[in-house]
Amino acid sequence: MSKGALALLVHGGTENWSPQRWKVRFDDVCRDRRVLLLPDPALDPAEVYYAAVWKPKPGELAAFGNLRVIFNLGAGVDALMADGSLPDVPLVRVAVDDLTERMTEYVVLHVLMHHRQEPYLRESQRVRRWAPRYQWAANALTIGIMGLGTLGAAAARALRGLGFRVVGWSRSGKRIDGITCFHGAAGLDAFLRETNILVCLLPLTQDTRHILDRDVFLKLSRASPLGAPVLINAGRGGLQNEVDILHALDDGTLGAASLDVYETEPLPEDSPFWSHPRVVLTPHNAADTDADEISKYVARQIGRFEAGEPLDNVVDRERGY
């Protein structure tokens, strides 16, 4: 009996998302299954049982009538959720230690950068100014994590371990040692009122689009040595109202922002974020997906699925994440 093929559909445009690179890795871990790189005009769509994808265009998966599982090669599935013709089969997202550790590094790096006044210190070095400012302790700041899922919960624990006060916000209620957890629309204001540095690790869904707006920034706590609160967004660009961020930075509602994601990616050359003195910008690489780890993760899941075991990290299509 045919084992069916695995179709790879990767649009990324960066070195890490080179389709050939992923093909080599998948060939390695799917030894007795054909791995096909799409688009492939010679391909018989009926042969494809599994698809491993990154940012497929709407409609690109509709032709595969025998598809059994779609594997998204990253954690965020917003691009797939936007495809009204996505085949109705389980959609699996990435949740692996490798990706989580990378995101924890990004969050810790950026929280520490603002906490340890790095922008001021780098500028002091540039102008040869010996003018130390008092460095307060970590427990002088409350870090608020929006999204207490795989990535948010790990970042929250790491920050707690460094001595920060940490609060978190999610859709459903949570209990995490040492972290004050809020949830739902009813818990949002209380969460924001405690928060000095807001870290966003939410998925982009109908409920969260443009959640990072002026109303939210105005509710953040100014009662800390930082003065004005700081925003760190590594979730998705669609979570943020970019005009509101710029106004908030310019009028002091926000003191600074670290941004990894944008409404339009790559970030257009004329975006004011590039040169804004209070923006620390990275090009959506807070947590890269590692082709070695993720191809193994997908192969493991296919093995489990074919043995009749449940798939891990299946997306709830109603919730959108």
Residues near ligand NDP (CB under 6 A) are 74-76, 95, 99, 103, 147-152, 169-172, 201-205, 207-208, 234-236, 260-261, 284, 286-287, 321
Q: How far is the CB of 51 from ligand NDP (least distance, A)?
A: 19
Q: Is 236 a catalytic residue?
A: yes
Residue 264 binding: pick among ligand OXD, ligand NDP, none (C-beta 5-8 Å cut-off by kind):
none
- State the chain's maximal CA–CA distance in angstroms: 74
Name the residue number minimizing CB distance to ligand OXD: 74
Phi/psi region, residue 182 (left: phi>0; alpha: psi -120 to 50; beta: rest), is beta
Q: How far apart are CA 97 and CA 145, in angstroms?
A: 19
Residue 4 or 74: the one with the smaller Cβ distance to ligand NDP is: 74
Angle between helices 118-126 and 97-115 (to 10 degrees): 60
Q: How far is the CB of 291 from ligand NDP (least distance, A)?
A: 15
Residue 211 or 248: the one with the smaller Cβ distance to ligand OXD is: 211
Name the residue number minimizing CB distance to ligand NDP: 149
Residue 226 or 286: the one with the smaller Cβ distance to ligand OXD is: 286
Q: How far apart are CA 218 and CA 141, in angstroms?
A: 17
8 A C-beta contact, residue 71 and residue 9: no
Q: How many CB atoms lie within 10 A of CB 71?
A: 25
Q: How far is the CB of 99 from ligand NDP (least distance, A)?
A: 6
Kindly list the residues in this chain that would bind ligand OXD in the complex (CB under 6 A).
74-76, 94, 289
Q: Identify the active-site residue in 34, 160, 284, 317.
A: 284
Q: How far is the CB of 94 from ligand OXD (least distance, A)?
A: 6
Residue 48 or 103: the one with the smaller Cβ distance to ligand NDP is: 103
Q: How far apart are CA 92 and CA 77, in angstroms?
A: 9
Please spell the DSSP secondary structure of 20-32, one letter per residue.
HHHHHHHHHH-TT
Q: Dig out the tokens for 2 from the structure.
A: 């045919």
Phi, psi torsion values for 123, nearest 5 degrees: -65, -40
Q: Is 284 a catalytic residue?
A: yes
Active site residues: 236, 284
